Amino acid sequence: MTLDQLWPLLEKAPFAAAVRSSGLLFPWIESVHVLAVVLVVGTVSIVDLRLLGLPNREKAVRKLTAEVLPYTWAAFALAVVTGFLMFSSSAATYAADFPFRMKMLLMVLAGLNMVAFHLLPYRTVHLWDVLTHPPAGAKVMAAMSLTLWIGIVCFGRWIGFTTN
Ligand code: HEM
C-alpha cells in the first residue's frame, strides 16, 4: 500500500471524521498543539542558549538538561498527538502541502542533530559541564538546533495559509 492509498483510509477513521466535521474540535486541538509547541521550542531554546554560552551559563549543563528535558519530551508527545489528529482530518491535503513536508523534513533533521549531539560532544560533557563556553562542536549543534526549530515553527504557521 502506498502512502497515497493510506491517506484516504486515515481520513475515514472515526477520530479523523470527528475532527473534520466538528466546528469546535479542530480549533481546540490546534490551540493545544500551539501550547505544546511553545513548550517544546521554549525548553529546547533554554538548553541551546546555555550551550551557546548565553543565559544560565553558571548552571552546569547536565543539571540544566536534567531539569528541562522531561518537559520537552512531554510537550513533544503532546505536539505529536495533536498534530497527528489535525493531520488525519485532511491527510492527503497536508501530505501534499509544501510547508507541511518541509516542517516534517526539518523535524527529522532536528532529531538527527540531537542524536549527533549526544553521540559526539555530549560524550565528554563531564569535561565541560560547568564551563561558561562549551566546546565549538556543542555550540555548532546548539545553533543548528535553534535554527531548525525556528524553521519548524515558521513552516508550521505557513501550513494554515496553504491548506485552508
Ligand atoms: C514539536 C514538533 C512540532 C512543532 C514545533 C509544530 C509547530 C506547528 C506550528 C507553529 C503550527 C501553526 C499553528 C498555528 O499557528 O495555527 C503547526 C500547525 C500544524 N501542525 Fe505542527 N508542530 C509540531 C509537530 C507536528 C506533528 C508531529 C504533526 C503531524 C503529524 C503536525 C501537524 C500540524 C498540522 C496539520 C498543522 C496545521 C493546522 C492548520 O491547518 O492550521 N505538527 N505546527
Q: Could you tell me the pLDDT band of residue 56, with boundaries at 50, 70 and 90?
A: low
CA distances from 96 to 4, 101, 158 (A): 9, 7, 14
Give the Cα separation of 46 and 64 in Å (integer).
9
Q: Give the Å distance between the CA of 104 and the centre of ligand 1.
A: 9
- Report residues whose beta carbon is within 6 angstroms of any ligand 1 atom: 30, 33-34, 37, 40-41, 76, 79-80, 83-84, 86-87, 94, 107, 152-153, 156-157, 159-160, 163-164
Q: Are 29 and 86 in contact (CB under 8 A)?
A: yes
Q: In the predicted model, what is the mean pLDDT of residues 68-72?
A: 96
Indicate which residue's Cα is closest to atom 32 of ligand 1. 83
Of 117, 108, 120, residue with least CA distance to 149: 108
Give the Cα separation of 45 and 56 in Å (integer).
12
In this structure, the chain runs to a length of 164
Indicate which residue's Cα is closest to atom 14 of ligand 1. 157
Grid cell locating 82: 495533536
Ligand 1 atom closest to the Cα of residue 107 is: 2
Proportion of the chain above pLDDT 90, given as a percent: 90
Q: In the predicted model, what is the mean pLDDT of residues 53-60?
A: 80
Question: Which residues touch 109 (CB under 8 Å, ≥6 apart)?
Answer: 148
Give the tens place of pLDDT for each residue, 34-49: 999 999 999 999 999 9
SS3 133: coil
Q: Give the Å distance between the CA of 69 and the centre of ligand 1.
A: 20
Indicate which residue's Cα is closest to atom 4 of ligand 1. 37
Ligand 1 atom closest to the Cα of residue 36 is: 1
Indicate which residue's Cα is closest to atom 42 of ligand 1. 83
Question: Which residues touch 64 (CB under 8 Å, ≥6 apart)?
Answer: 46, 47, 50, 56
Give the tens place of pLDDT for each residue, 18-30: 999 998 999 999 9
Of 90, 109, 115, 114, residue with least CA distance to 155: 109
Give the tens place of pLDDT for each residue, 124-150: 999 999 888 899 999 999 999 999 999
Q: Are 149 and 108 in contact (CB under 8 A)?
A: no
Give the tens place of pLDDT for each residue, 93-124: 999 999 999 999 999 999 999 999 999 999 99
Residue 147's identity, in one-letter code, is: T
